[in-house]
Amino acid sequence: MGMEKTYEGTIQFGWATDSYDAAGTPAGDPVPQSIEHLDLEPFVARFRGELEQMPPQFSAKKVQGVRAYELARKGETAALTPKKVTVYEFDILGVEGSTARVRVRSSAGTYVRSLAHDLGAAAGVPAHLKELRRTAIGNFRVEKAISFDRMSEAPVEELLAPPHFQSLSDVELPLEKVRIDWSQQGKMMRGQAVILTPAARVGQGDLLALGNPHDQLVAIGEVVNVLREGGPVEVRPKVVLAG
């Protein structure tokens, strides 16, 4: 979930909604407004790079333990705060009448519907996100996927073949990687804790990707005790992958 995401979608101009997407209630008359005469690039450029993005009121963000969308459904306004996100790419793929097709590559936690809403506000034409499709997460890309219909019919050899199949050791996890020895692997497989010294500074509760001397991913471990600041830590297996 912490990996960057890539999306393709459609932004509808002419009216905004309270949820910033097509499922929300229109804010005003839902009348399409052509944007073919507008040069959107100067406005889109404002939303590239590092941003302080305000989450939508209809979001899963918690405010004092309550989801923002639960308050929004009651007609209440949640006291949300901006979150720092990074938009690596935000491109207009095409414009037709009152809609624009876009591609966005961003850090985890970015709301594309907020980008759509804010782009409309910047351009002076209310807008909302009409359609959205995630096409990649980290190094997992939809063009490398196998269809559900094919998956139900294909032989095992095809299912376990690249590019749609990746071994766990090849998956790029957003976790600090630590090499463990064979005896530590044995302890992990028995659910026992081990003492490790990660190269990077870690804290209690952090997760580590643990690989054996053959570079095989063995387990995801959780730091349960920091024995010395910047030094050894006690790690317990959270998910054991070797068997």
Task: Give 29-60 pLDDT, tens digit per residue.
Answer: 999 999 999 999 999 999 999 999 988 887 88
Picking from 137, 159, 186, the residue at the C-terminal end of a domain is 137
Task: Give 6-31 pLDDT, tens digit per residue.
Answer: 999 999 999 999 999 999 999 989 99
Q: Is residue 104 domain-shared with residue 14, that is, in the same domain?
A: yes
Q: Is residue 126 domain-shared with residue 85, that is, in the same domain?
A: yes
13 closest CA partner among 89, 117, 131, 93: 117
| Cα angle, residue 56 at apex, residues 37 and 119 outer, rounded to 5° | 15
Structural domain count of the chain:
2
How confident is the model at residue 59, as a pLDDT?
82
Model pTM greater than 0.85? no
Q: Is residue 118 domain-shared with residue 180, that is, in the same domain?
A: no
Q: Is residue 32 domain-shared with residue 92, that is, in the same domain?
A: yes
Task: Give 77-105 pLDDT, tens digit per residue.
Answer: 888 888 999 999 999 999 999 999 999 99
How confident is the model at residue 170, as a pLDDT?
75
Task: Give 150-191 pLDDT, tens digit per residue.
Answer: 888 899 999 888 888 887 777 777 788 899 999 999 999 999
Indicate whether 153 belongs to any domain: no
Residue with token string 């690039």: 41
Q: Is residue 95 domain-shared with residue 28, that is, in the same domain?
A: yes
User: What CA–CA distance (Å, rounded) separates 177 from 198?
Assistant: 8
Indicate whether 160 belongs to any domain: no
Q: Is residue 132 domain-shared with residue 174, that is, in the same domain?
A: no
Q: Is residue 80 domain-shared with residue 133, that is, in the same domain?
A: yes
Task: Pull the structure tokens for residue 181.
Answer: 């020895």
| Integer CA distances (angstroms), 104 to 2, 18, 97, 210, in order | 16, 22, 21, 32
Maximum pairwise Cα distance, the chain: 68
Domain that holds residue 11: 5-137
How confident is the model at residue 243, as a pLDDT?
59
Residue with token string 């690249």: 162
Looking up residue 209, the CATH number of its domain turns out to be 2.30.130.10
Residue with token string 């095409």: 94
User: What CA–CA distance (Å, rounded) separates 35 from 15?
Assistant: 12
Q: Is residue 129 domain-shared with residue 50, that is, in the same domain?
A: yes
How confident is the model at residue 140, as a pLDDT?
87
